[in-house]
Structure 1
Amino acid sequence: MMYISEQQLYERLQSGDAMAQKALYAKYVGSLTAVCSRYVADADDVKDVMQEVFIKVFTQIASFTFRGEGSLKAWLMRITVNTSLTYLKNAGRLSVVRDDTQVADIVEDEEPDAEGVPPDELQRMIMRLPDGYRTVLNLYVFEDKSHKEIAALLNIKPTSSASQLFHAKALMAKMIVEYKRTH
C-alpha cells in the first residue's frame, strides 16, 4: 500500500470511504492495541475493548477536527485510553488499592536501574501490578497526566493518585530488584 498522510486518510474517512477505514485500522491497530494492553491485562478483554475503540472511531469521525499531522493519531490514542478506562470501571476493576500490605518489604533506596531488564519483562511487571496502581502509573508515565487530571478521570482525590503512583513505583522497584537478583 502506498503512503497516505493523516490528512488524506481523514478526508477519505469523512467521505465514508470503506478502504480508508481498512487503511486506518491497518495503520494504527498495533499501536492502539499496545496502549490498550497497558491498561487491560486479559488478551480477550483487549480484543473486546479494541473492537469498541474502532466502533467509536468510525461512528465519531465526523466530530474530529484535523489539526495537522499527528492529530488523528493523538485522537485515536485518547479514545483508546478512555475506552480502556471505561472498560475497567464497568468491570469493577478500577478500584483504588487501599491495602498497604502489598507494599511491605519495599526497597527503601533510590529507584533501581531498569537497564538490563528486557522491555517485555518490564511490561510483564507492569501487568502484574494491581489494576489501580497500573492505571495510575500508565496515565502518569505514558499519558503525561498530572495527579489532578488522573483524579478527575478516575474519580479519586489527587492525593490518592499520588499514593497509587508511589506504591506502583515501589512494587516495580521490588520486582526489578528481584529480577536482577535471579537473572
Structure 2
Amino acid sequence: MTEEQLTKGLQAGDNLARKELYERLAGQMLSLCRRYVGQSDEAEDLLHDGFLQIFSQIGKFTWRGEGTLAAWVRRVMTNHVLSALEKEKRLATDDIDEVPDMGADDNDAPPDISTDVIMQLIAELPTGYRTVLNLFLVEGWSHAEIAEKLNIKESTSASQYLRAKKLLKDKILNYINLNDL
C-alpha cells in the first residue's frame, strides 16, 4: 500500500489502514517516546495514546507527497509526548534558565560507544535539557520552534542545547574513563 493509499484509508476510518500505519511506524515512534521518557512502560503508554491522537486527527492531514505522512505522524507524536510531560509537570519550562555558552568543543570525535549507551546517557540528562536536545538535534526543530512550543525564550533554547551537549559530553567522557575505552 502506498503512502497516498494509506492516507486515504486512514481518513476513511479503515481499520486495516490504521493497523498498517501502526506496523510501519510504531518502532520509530517508540524510539521517539523513549528519547523523552527513557526505557519504561510510560514510553509504550505514550506510544499507544499518541497513535489514538494521530487516528483522531488524521482528517487534518493533507497528503503532499511520499514521506509527508510519516513526518506528520512524527510531529503529532512529538507534540503528544511534550504535552504529556508538561501535564505531569516533568517538563518544568518555567525552571529552564538561561545559561552562558559553555564553549562545548565540537572537534572532539567520540570513541566507539554503542547507540544504546548513548541513549542511556541522554536519558540521564535533566528533562529540560533532554527535551531541547532531542527537539533540536534529533527532530530538527529550530530554536524558535522550540521556544514557542515550550514557552521559553529562543536564547534559552539555544543555551539549554549547549548545556545539554556539554553535560552529555561529560557523561560520555566519564563512561569512557570508567570502561577503559
Does TM, scored on the shorter chain, surpass 0.5? yes
CA deviation vs aligned residue, 1:66-124 (integer Å, no higher than 9, x gap)? 11110000010001100010011001011244498xxxxx8x77243223111110000
Matched, 1:84 2:65: no
4+ residue runs over 6 A deviation: none
Deviation of the 1:174 alpha carbon: 0.4
2:113 corresponds to 1:117: yes
Q: Does 1:161 align with 2:131?
A: no
Mark the CA change 1:98 to 1:109 in structure 2 (over 3 Å): closer, same or farther: closer
Instruction: Give yes or no for contact 1:97–1:132 (8 Å, CA) kept in 2.
Output: yes
What is the rounded CA distance, in whole Å, between the counterparts of 1:54 and 1:18 in structure 2? 13
Distance 1:35 1:125 in 2: 15
- For the pair 1:62 / 2:63, whether they are aligned, the reply is no
The question of 1:138 aligning with 2:143 is answered no
Q: Is 1:175 equivalent to 2:171 in the alignment?
A: yes
Q: For structure 1, list consecutive stretches of 5 or more residues without a partner in the other structure.
A: 101-105
**Structure 1: which amino acid aligns with 2:119?**
Q
- Range that drifts further, 47-56 or 132-141: 47-56
- The verdict on how the C-alpha distance between 1:40 and 1:109 changes in structure 2, with shifts beyond 3 A counting, is closer
**How many angstroms apart in 2 are the aligned matches of 1:136 and 1:85?**
11
Deviation at 1:56, TM superposition (A): 1.1
Alignment TM-score, normalising by the size of structure 2? 0.89
Equivalent AA in structure 2 for residue 175 of structure 1: K
1: CA distance between counterparts of 2:39 and 2:97?
23
Q: Which SS does the other structure have where 2:123 is aligned?
A: helix
Residue 115 of structure 1: SS of its match in structure 2? coil
Rate the CA distance shift 1:67–1:109 in 2: closer, same or farther, 3 A: closer
Letter in 1 for 2:105: E
CA contact (8 A) 2:104 2:165 kept: no
Partner residue of 1:39?
Answer: 36
Native 8 Å contact 1:97 1:130 kept in 2: no
Question: C-alpha distance in 2, partners of 1:146/1:98?
Answer: 18
Q: Does 2:38 align with 1:53?
A: no
Q: Distance in 2 between matches of 1:110 and 1:161?
A: 19
SS at 2:32's partner residue? helix
Aligned to 2:68: 71
Q: Which runs of 5+ in 2 are unaligned?
A: none
